[in-house]
A and B are shown apart, each in its own frame.
Chain A
Amino acid sequence: MPARFSLLSLGKILFSPAEAFQAVADESPPASRVFFRFALWIGLLPPLFAYVGTTLFGWRLGVEPVFLPQPTVIAICLAYFAALLFGFVSSAVVARWMAVTYDASQSLGRCLALMAIVGAPLAIGSIVHLFPHAFLNVLVLVPVLIWCMYLLYRGLPVVLGTGPNRGMLMASALIAYLFVAFVSLLGITVALWGSGIGPQIGT
């Protein structure tokens, strides 16, 4: 099998996603390859950018910057990395589980590749974390997120080999999961802050 899914294909994934989707459909890359040669590394980018930005500029929430102690920054970035990986793998597993209902491919490799292609623009867009101004991040990441949603609707039927209508339904069901995963991350984050892990806040 010519499985070529790796960091080297990042350009194609970002700029010709339709080709990337078709390539995954043709090649059906193994799960380990998608994870170790692509997702793991691209998943490192957001926490790295966040680390550099937080250390250099502090969190900008609209008033004076909030600087955090080094050990806290490292802990937050590691937790961020773990959450991203968990979110990535769990989305692929959920997609595989849903595939039975929507008559789609149940190959874990394809599901991981789909989520990797869909998530890649967000990982690259996270370069905005280099200046952790909250509103600037919202402003940049919202259009990127919309693009990612478009990629999910567009790519799912191709990568998982299901019809466009079933693909649309399955993508919507996956978006429901992604909403929930994201809001869980928010909830877990603030609960950790409240228990003393993170910025010093008086709860």
Chain B
Amino acid sequence: MASTPPASITERLDAINEFDREPVSEDALQGPGNFIGLYAGEHVAGTEFVIGPLFVAHGVAAGDLFLGLLVGNLLAVLSWAFICAPIATRTRLNLYWKLRKIAGPNLLFVYNLVNAAMFCFLAGSMISVAATAVGIPFDMTMPGLDDFYPNSVGWVVTVLLVGSVVTVLAILGFEKIAYFSKIAAPWMFLVFVACGVAVLPQLGVTSLGDFWTVANEKIWTGEPLSGRIRFTFWHVMFFAWFANMAMHIGMADMTILRYAKKWHYGFASAFGMYLGHYIAWVASGILVALALQNASEVAPGPIAYLGAGVAGLVAVLLAGWTTANPTIYRAGLAMQTITPNWKRWKMTLAVGMITTMAALFPALMMRLLDFVALYGLLLMPMGAVIFADFWLLPKLGLRQDYAEWKQLLFSLPAALAWLLTLGACLLLNLVWDVEIFFLGLPGWFIATGLYVALSVAQQRRVPVPQSSTPTTDFLSEEIT
């Protein structure tokens, strides 16, 4: 039997994304309700059971937490609305195709690999979260906040079990689980609220007037746990802003917002931020404060049980599972470019195994704040490249989508902007001790500046005709 010659990387990537090649058509555009539901569901997830407690562990003060979350989440919403959505609604393309035009297919391949690796680790932390719920009936020794390696045979067995089930279900049907996730979302948000409210009397809050005193004295005390740096208003604000850096200024949500009728549907992200990244983080922080007061275990499963009993355990399990499932699926899609002849199920199985191995290390869950910051930082520069290519290059008389026009496989300005930005961020971290939570902002400006400067150098060498891509004034009109 004759064998098919191996396809190039470009052909493999394009085959996977073939369906999304064309801009979204007019009749496929969606109203604001879809985006409100989508953002509200996506940001009330398993990670929320970990992030709220980690703020408590880092000794943030109550005032800093409430104000930092208010401002940081507002900045995140503005980033979606003013940076990601306008480009998404003008191009109607997903991140893959837009980046392919700018960066060339070979650089996009590298980006996909980095993205897939990050997805694997993210899904791994979610499997860890789910395992803390499954282990409770079996009296499993829970990992502590400072555990790096697996701490018991029970933990290893539970993670392997949960990881296997999640992987098999991801293989059997992504769409059904995505639908189940949609059903679970409103219930899960209410579980967070209920958990937080129900345990307040055990912390000494018997009336609304008591809350602020107890919040300062027993929950967000300003005193970090041993081995943790103290978080200030700025840590909270920047973390809230950049928790989804890859999605807004990193432009990954072009994939979603390209379906929006209007650019201002980007403001729908407020429902995800203020329900998930405000109320749910506050609620899970309250839960861990009770666990610390009782000297009991602080893992997501045990603290949810403190708040809601069996329903809390189910919520942790579902939150971890429904977040891990699409993440494994996305990682599988990105990885498929390496092994094009593998069936989708085989690729999902391989990704599930890598993810489960990562989940064995509780550090992934207990150091989630650092990991989330790193994840966003690694991918953000390419979002800045898209921003600069779309808005700034035409103003300078340069051509947009240069790699596509010149039929380049690899855009040097985009690659150097990416690498040099990460190098500059590393330098800021190592030499000037700028913590990882604060690197996104200077990093974005560095990436934008580098890409513009390098594009000038590239395109001025050989004069090129003006771009034929239509661009309008900022926020004034949309190409629909």
Are A and B subunits of one complex?
no
Q: A residues bordering B, Cβ < 8 Å?
A: none
Q: B residues bordering A, Cβ < 8 Å?
A: none
